[in-house]
Structure 1
Amino acid sequence: MFNLTYEFKLKPTQNQIALFEDWLELCRRVYNYALAERKDWFKSRSCQINACSLCCEYIIPSNASRPTYASQCRGLTQARAQYPELNAVSVHVLQQTLKRLEQAFVSMWERNHGFPRFKKQGRMRSFVFPQLGVNPLGQGQIKLPKIGWVKFRQSRDIPDGGVVKQARVVKRVSGWYVMLTLQWDVSVPQPMPHGEVLGIDVGLTSFVATSNGLLVKRPRFFAEAECKLKLLQKSVSRKRIGSNNWHKAHKKVAKLHEYVANCRKDWHRKLSHQICNHAGMVFVEDLNLVGLSRGMLGKHCLDAGFGQFFNILEQTCFKRGVYFQKVDSRKTSQICPSCGVETGKKELSERTHTCSNCGYTTDRDVAAAQVVAIRGLAAVGHTVKMLAEGKFIGIPVKQESPAF
C-alpha cells in the first residue's frame, strides 16, 4: 500500500462556513467532556487512603474501569440520543475526535508529552472524515458527508487509481483547507544506495554545510518579522478582549505567523531539491531536536526549523530516488575526516578545522559534514577502499611518494 496526502484550499459558501464553525465547536465540547471524564478518573485514584484533601475529593467507585476510546465511543452513542444537537455532526467525525484524545494520552505515556489540556473556544481547528463514500471527488469539488459538495481550488492533478481514505478539514487564518489522503494498491521500492555521496551538517552560522564544500547561509525568517510582530501584539494588548477590534488585530498576528511559516517551508523545499540535484545518497545527523529547542539558542533553532527540513528532505529524496539515512551525530566536529584522529572539542568561535596529525585544514562545518558522509558510507556497507579514495565526499587523497 502506498499513501499520499494532497492539500487543497476550499471555496465554501457562507452557509458551509457556518456549518464548519458549528462542527468545530461541537467537536471541541466532545473533546473537553471526554478529557474531563478521564481526568476525574485519574484524580480519584491519586488521593490518599487515610486522608482527604482540604478542598474536594473525586469519589468514583473502585470497580469503575479507566475510560478508554472504546468505552467513550459507547458513551457517545448514548449522548447522541440524549442531546439532539450532536446528531448534526457525523458520528464518525466525533469518534475521530475521541481518537485524537486517545492519541494525546498515548503520546504522554510513550513520548513523554505533557498531560492533555482543555481546548478553549477557537482552539479546535480541524475535524476528520474517515469515510467519504463512493466517488467523493468531482472536478474541483469534494462531497463531504452531511455537508454535500464543496468546491476547492484544484492546484494540481490527482493521479488515477487512488482511493480516498480520509479527508481532514482545517481552518487557518487564510481560509479553509482540505487534506485528502489517497491510497494506491502498489508497492513502491525504497531507493537503494547509489551514485555520489553527500553528507550534511546543519547549524546556525551556516544552515547547511555539505561534504563537497557548499555552505548555505541561514535565513532569519522569524527574526526579520519580529519587529512587526511586536507592534501587532502591542496593538492586540490595547484592545478589549473579545471585541471586534480585538479579533481583527488578533487575525493580523496570525497572518504574520502563517506568512513566516510558509516562507520557511518554501525555502526548505527549494533547498532540498537543490541538494538532490547532484546526489545519489544523502546522509544527515540524527540530532536531539527537542534538546536543542530547550537550550540557550533554542529560539534560533526553532526559527531555523531543522526538524521540518529533515522531513522535507527525506520526502524529496524518496520522490527523486535518492537514498536518505540519518547517522550518529556524536563528535562529528571533533574528528578529522582525513585521518580519523579525534582533535578535541572546539569553541563556537573556532570556525576552522585544522588537524595536528595530518595537517588537513577546511571549514569546521564542512569537516563535520565529511565525517557524516564517512559514517553514512560505513552504515550502508561500502568498502574501506571507497572511504580511502574520498572522491565522493570531497576529502583530498594523500598521495604516496613513489619508491625508487
Structure 2
Amino acid sequence: MTKQNKAYKFRVYPTEEQALMIHKTFGCVRFVYNKMLAERKETYDHLKDDKETLKKVKLPTPAKYKQEYAWLKEVDSLALVNAQRNLDKAYKAFFKGIAKFPKFKSKRHKQSYTTNVVNGNIQLLNGYIQLPKLKRLKMKQHREIPSEHTLKSCTLSITSSGKYYISILTAYEKQIDPKEIHTMVGLDFTMDGLFVDSDGKKANYPKFYRQMLGKLAIEQRKLSRKKKGSSNWNKQRIRVANMQEKVANQRKNSLHHLSKELVTHYDAVVIEDLDMKGMSQALQFGKSVADNGWGMFTSFLKYKLKEQGKHLIKVDKWFPSSKTCSSCGNIQPMPMNMRVYACSCGLKLDRDYNAALNIKKEGMRLLASAS
C-alpha cells in the first residue's frame, strides 16, 4: 500500500464576523512571516561567510512575537506555525541552490493561510466545515470526499474578486501496481493548440486568454480612468478580476479534460522537459506560453498517471525532435517558419507531427535502456 495525498477545493461563504477573522489571520501570517524573514536576513548578512556558525543559529519562532504583539494570540496559532514552516522550506531551498533568497510578502501576494488537523479541531458537517477560530463555515461541497480519506490540513484563500475558497488536503492508502506499457503516445508542444501527438492528432486547445483579450483591454482601460480607491474603481476592479478568473477557470477545466483523456487511453505519455519560462522570454512568446498552460497540463498528467500506475516519460529538452527525420534519422536545420519537414529520404510531414513521432521513439529508447 502506498500513502497518497489528494486535495479537494470548495467555495466557502463566511459571515461578516468570519470574514473579518479570516482577513485578520491573513495579516498576522504575513506579519509573522516578514518578521522572521527580516531576522533571518539580518543574520545571513552578518554570517554568510561563516556557514558553520550560520547553521547553529537559533531561528525565531511565532511564539517569540506573541509576547510583544498580543494581538497575534487572537488568530489560529497553527496558521502562524505554518508560516514558519513555509519560510523554513524557502530558506532550505535557497541553501540547496534551487531557489532565490525568500522575498517579503505584501498585500498584493496571494492571501491565504493553512491550518492543520489536531484532535478533531476540523470536521466536515452537512454543508459546513468546522475550523479553528471560525467555528461552522458555510461550504458548497460539490463532490464527496471518500470516507477512507483522512483530513490533514485546510488552506483558506481569497481571490482578487473577493471569493473565498478552502482547499482540504487528505491522506489515503492505495495499492498502485505499475502497469505494463502496451500503448504509448508522444506529445510535441505547440504554441497553436497546445500539442500534436504521435498519432497525428492535434489538441485544438482554445486560446481562452486571446479570446478574452479585447474585452479585457476595454475593461482595464475603464479601470485606469477611475480614481483609485473609489467605490466605482473597486467595482470595476472586481469586474476585471472576474474576467481574469473566468479565463483561468476555463483553462484549468480544459486541461483537466485533455489530461484525463490521455491517461484513459495510454499507459505511457512521453513529453519534452521544456523550460517554459525560458522559452517565453527568449522567443518573446510570453502571452502564448501563459495562455497554453503547458506547465499546469504536465502537472495534471503526472499525478493522474501516477494514480493509475502509468508512466510519464520526459525527454531531454536538448533532444533535436524537430530537426530529426522520424523515418531515417537524418538531422537538418529547421527554422521556426518552416512548418513542413521534408527529408532527402522522401519523408514529408507536418513538423510538429514529425517531432511527436521522434519524442515517442526517444521515450521508447529511454524505457528500453532503463529496463
**1:151 maps to 2:151:** no
CA distance change for structure 1 residues 187 and 98 in 2, over 3 Å: closer, same or farther?
A: same
C-alpha displacement of 1:239: 2.8
CA distance in 2, matches of 1:108, 1:327: 27
CA distance change for structure 1 residues 10 and 68 in 2, over 3 Å: closer, same or farther?
A: farther
CA distance change for structure 1 residues 14 and 113 in 2, over 3 Å: closer, same or farther?
A: same
Secondary structure of the residue aligned to 2:130 is: strand
Give the structure 2 partner of residue 223 of structure 1: 210
Deviations 1:270-315 (A, max 9, x none): 2222323432221111112221122222321122111111111223
C-alpha displacement of 1:111: 5.3
Q: Which of 334, 337, 349 is residue 346 of structure 1 equivalent to? A: 334
TM-score (norm. length: structure 2): 0.88
C-alpha displacement of 1:247: 2.4
C-alpha displacement of 1:212: 0.9
Report if the CA contact (8 A) 1:167-1:180 is conserved.
yes
Give the structure 2 partner of residue 117 of structure 1: 103
Give the structure 2 partner of residue 302 of structure 1: 290
Report if the CA contact (8 A) 1:27-1:124 is conserved.
no
C-alpha displacement of 1:344: 0.9
Q: Which of 310, 320, 325 is residue 336 of structure 1 equivalent to? A: 325
CA distance in 2, matches of 1:368, 1:253: 39
CA distance change for structure 1 residues 232 and 107 in 2, over 3 Å: closer, same or farther?
A: farther
CA distance in 2, matches of 1:32, 1:79: 12
**1:106 alignment partner AA:** K
Any unmatched runs of 5+ in structure 1? 48-61, 384-404
**1:213 maps to 2:213:** no
Deviations 1:159-182 (A, max 9, x none): 112211111111112511111111
**1:246 alignment partner AA:** W
**Mean Cα displacement is larger for which, 319-328 or 257-266?**
319-328
C-alpha displacement of 1:124: 4.8
CA distance in 1, matches of 2:60, 2:260: 46
CA distance in 1, matches of 2:273, 2:25: 40
Give the structure 2 partner of residue 392 of structure 1: none
Report if the CA contact (8 A) 2:18-2:134 is conserved.
yes
CA distance change for structure 1 residues 343 and 322 in 2, over 3 Å: closer, same or farther?
A: same
**1:93 maps to 2:93:** no
Report if the CA contact (8 A) 2:39-2:60 is conserved.
no
RMSD in angstroms over aligned alpha carbons?
2.8
CA distance in 1, matches of 2:357, 2:57: 49
CA distance change for structure 1 residues 269 and 138 in 2, over 3 Å: closer, same or farther?
A: same
C-alpha displacement of 1:187: 4.1
Q: Which of 176, 180, 199 is residue 168 of structure 2 equivalent to? A: 180
CA distance change for structure 1 residues 216 and 187 in 2, over 3 Å: closer, same or farther?
A: closer
Report if the CA contact (8 A) 2:271-2:314 is conserved.
yes
Report if the CA contact (8 A) 1:193-1:281 is conserved.
no
**1:239 maps to 2:226:** yes
Deviations 1:73-125 (A, max 9, x none): 1xx22321332211111222111112222333334444554443333335351
Secondary structure of the residue aligned to 2:136 is: strand
TM-score (norm. length: structure 1): 0.82
Give the structure 2 partner of residue 362 of structure 1: 349
Q: Which of 255, 280, 301 is residue 268 of structure 1 equivalent to? A: 255
**2:311 alignment partner AA:** Y
